[in-house]
Amino acid sequence: MAEAAPLPLAADTDSLAGGGTAVDVRAVSHQFRLSGARLPVLDGIEFSAEPGEFVALLGPSGCGKSTLLRLIAGLERPTAGEIAVGGRPVDRPDPSRILVFQDPTLFPWASVRQNVTTGLEARGVLKQERGRVGEALALVGLAGFADAYPHQLSGGMAQRVALARALVNDPALLLLDEPLGKLDSLTRLTLQTELVGLWQRNGFTALLVTHDVEEALLLASRIVVFSDRPARINAEFRFDKPYPRHRDAPDLVAMRRRILGALGFAT
Amino acid sequence: MTDAAQTFDDLAIADPTSTFGGIWRSGVLAALSWAAAALITVGLPDVVPWGSAKLFAGLTAGAAAVFLVLSFVVQRLGRAGEVLRHYGPWFVAVGVWLALWELATAKFGWLPKPFFSPPHGILNVYVTDGPRLLLCIVYTLRLWSLGFLSGIVVGYGAGVALGWSKPFAYWGMPLLKLIGPVPATAWIPVTFYFFPTTFGASIFIVALASGIPVAILTASGVGSVSRAYYDVGRILGARSWYLIRRVAIPAAMPHVFVGLFMALYYSFAVLVVAEMLGAKYGLGWYIQFQTAYSGYANVYAAIIIMAVLCAGIVRLLFVVRDRLLRWQEGFI
């Protein structure tokens, strides 16, 4: 894991270093309507993230963490409460805060380059910013795959493309919904390291939903623990350790025990 | 590695498309069967004369000679040689078929005139009625292309609107479902009222037959695009128009092509009927005209042209589809 040092600030990728933004979630509750019945998924969520912070949202599968990310991304409006990003209320999706899903969800009909271009083209800034596409692909180590189609990529490569597709827009907030959840464990280790590198060099605020305690501790400086559905915030842990972190470092192991305790697993 | 190569060679020898001792077996057999067809055609007298027997015998004998030459050189022809070898058994079978066909019709009269025609009878139609058939091909292609193209353009536009917009779907879908199953030709009485010329009415019938399957399949394609793709688009800053152009339309393409293939077959099917509406030329018109005068050899001749045209256009659509849906490779 020695290569977890921050990626070198190559001159040709400088334009992708934008900086982060603050996130404020105030008393947010949310319900789904399923065939008439109301299913509460979030219950009075209250938390905030500082600009450039890496926060992990940890909790059991299906507890509503992903819904919270969708709300912050602006894909849906909360039933109650308010969400603000960078001091401005969220009322619709915006390319300054980008959600990366567990499935890469690349457009299968578009090449890797066209996939990464989507955000720039949709906003009509492709002409001025075309150079970013190559930078973003280089940043995730896929410079040679611009003309490949998604079906030709492995799971890890596809998720890298999804990251490039997000980063090309220089988001101030990156919402990561278990982005490594479906990858094999070795690819996962590599991408965890790369994710830290991208975060350190670009400076965006990152909210990572995961149910993997170790992943949360390897990546985040703060860990918010959610209860089962409807999700409430159970506990918060600060873990300000330098990177690269090691999964068997004593302080990490100790913290993992505390967090597992908070999740209801006696160790 | 060598084992695998060995097995492959064994297979190649067992394969009838292969060569044996440097000579292409199917090529020799094809030369024999085509030569037999030629000999039967000139050697035995016609029960009733059909004309063009010598020309047909000359052509089949020429083909036999070509197959004979190919039997020795096909290995040196590379890619084209491989294709020829693949179709070797077919070449043999067609020669046998031509020979039997000659015997059953012209030579022994088991299948009598005028209901059946020997191959040289059909050839005689092309020789004697060639210019008129060419004109018919042009007329048919003009009617078909105008009808098909206008049909699929309108059908596609309607399909995208129906699949994308809720109000469109609310008002349009029931209508489409009601009209869809009605054969296009059932609208002939109405079209006579609305279209000033019979040519316009014919185009409309072909367009209707092609447009409806495209509209239905496009609508279902656009409607079934995974919501996750729209979510990604919206997150990246896309508005409706961009989502339609860059997400809904390409994602629906596989469905659209199913619709296009259906449209092709329907349009060919109504072509003959559409040419009943007072057309002066056209393959459908020709078939009806000749049927009325018991010119069955002419009917077969026109049917063969139609079949070849249809197959060619279908093939063309496959090429277009494979280019446009290249991204689907691997999960078709």
Domain definitions of chain A by residue range: 21-96+173-267, 109-170
Mean pLDDT (whole number) for A231-242: 85
The residue in chain B having the minimum alpha-carbon distance to the alpha carbon of residue A171 is B236
List, for residues B62-91, the tens digit of each pLDDT value.
Answer: 999 999 999 988 888 888 888 999 999 999
DSSP A49-70: E-TT-EEEEE--TTSSHHHHHH
What is the homologous superfamily of the domain A21-96+173-267 according to CATH?
P-loop containing nucleotide triphosphate hydrolases (3.40.50.300)
Measured from the Cβ of residue B270, the count of other Cβ atoms closer than 10 Å reads 22
Residue among A174, A38, A16, A26 at smallest CA distance from A100: A174
Contact A152 B330 (CB under 8 A): yes
Residue among B110, B128, B59, B108 at smallest CA distance from B295: B128
**Reduced 3-state DSSP string for chain B:** CHHHHHHHHHHHHHCCCCEECCEEHHHHHHHHHHHHHHHHHHHCCCCCCCCCHHHHHHHHHHHHHHHHHHHHHHHHHHHHHHHHHHCHHHHHHHHHHHHHHHHHHHHCCCCCCCCCCCHHHHHHHHHHHHHHHHHHHHHHHHHHHHHHHHHHHHHHHHHHHHHHCHHHHHHHHHHHHHHCCCCHHHHHHHHHHHCCCHHHHHHHHHHHHHHHHHHHHHHHHHHCCCHHHHHHHHHCCCCHHHHHHHHHHHHHHHHHHHHHHHHHHHHHHHHHHHCCCCCCCCHHHHHHHHHHCCCHHHHHHHHHHHHHHHHHHHHHHHHHHHHHCHHHCCCC
The residue in chain A having the minimum alpha-carbon distance to the alpha carbon of residue B327 is A109
The minimum CA-CA distance between A114 and chain B, rounded to whole Å, is 10
Residue B96 pLDDT: 96
Residue B277 pLDDT: 75
Look up residue B104 and give its amino acid. Answer: A
User: Which residues make up the CATH 1.10.3720.10 domain(s) of chain B?
Assistant: 121-326
Residue B331 pLDDT: 46
Chain A positions in Cβ-Cβ contact with residue B244 (cut-off 8 Å): none
List, for residues A131-153, the tens digit of each pLDDT value.
Answer: 888 888 988 888 889 899 998 88
> With 90 as the cut, is the pLDDT of residue B104 above it?
yes
Contact A93 B229 (CB under 8 A): no
Residue among B279, B271, B273 at smallest CA distance from B305: B271
Model confidence at A266, in pLDDT bands (50, 70, 90)? low
Sign of the torsion angle spanned by Cα atoms B198, B310, B131, B107:
negative
Model confidence at B329, in pLDDT bands (50, 70, 90)? low
What does the alpha-carbon distance between residue A36 and residue A58 come to, in Å, rounded to a whole number? 30
Q: Are B191 and B205 in contact (CB under 8 A)?
A: yes
Residue among B110, B119, B98, B123 at smallest CA distance from B47: B110
The residue in chain B having the minimum alpha-carbon distance to the alpha carbon of residue A147 is B327
Q: In CATH, what number does B121-326 get? A: 1.10.3720.10
Q: Are A182 and A211 in contact (CB under 8 A)?
A: no
Query: Among A116, A118, A125, which would you mutate to test the B interface (most chain B Cβ atoms within 10 Å of its Cβ)?
Result: A118
Residue A100 pLDDT: 92
What does the alpha-carbon distance between residue B149 and residue B264 come to, in Å, rounded to a whole number? 10
Query: Among B236, B243, B257, which would you mutate to test the A interface (most chain A Cβ atoms within 10 Å of its Cβ)?
Result: B236
Residue B187 pLDDT: 85
The residue in chain A having the minimum alpha-carbon distance to the alpha carbon of residue B250 is A109
Contact B237 A119 (CB under 8 A): yes
Chain A positions in Cβ-Cβ contact with residue B239 (cut-off 8 Å): 122
Q: Are A113 and A92 in contact (CB under 8 A)?
A: no
Q: Which of B242, B327, B329 is closest, CB to CB, to A122?
A: B242
Show which residues on chain A lie within 8 Å of chain B, measured between beta carbons.
73, 75, 92-95, 98-99, 101, 103, 105, 107-111, 118-119, 121-123, 149-152, 165, 169
Q: Which of B231, B233, B251 is closest, CB to CB, to A122?
A: B233
Contact A73 B250 (CB under 8 A): no
- Taking all residues of chain A, what is their mean pLDDT, rounded to a whole number? 84
Look up residue B310 and give its amino acid. Answer: C
Which two three-digit tokens encode residue A102?
A: 């567990």
Contact B234 A118 (CB under 8 A): no
Residue B330 pLDDT: 57
Contact A93 B328 (CB under 8 A): no
Buried b (16+ CB within 10 A) or exposed e, A28-56: bbbbeeeeeeeeebbbebebebeebbbbb
Q: Which of A92, A101, A111 is closest, CB to CB, to B228?
A: A101
- Laid out side by side, the sheet with A222-226 consists of A97-100, A173-177, A205-210, A54-58, A222-226, A233-238
Lowest mean pLDDT among A230-234, B149-153, B253-257: A230-234
> With 50 as the cut, is the pLDDT of residue B213 above it?
yes
Which two three-digit tokens encode residue B204?
A: 């409309």
Q: Complex ipTM, two decimals?
A: 0.85
> With 60 as the cut, is the pLDDT of residue B8 above it?
no
Q: Are B255 and B217 in contact (CB under 8 A)?
A: yes
Contact B250 A118 (CB under 8 A): no
- Taking all residues of chain B, what is their mean pLDDT, rounded to a whole number? 87
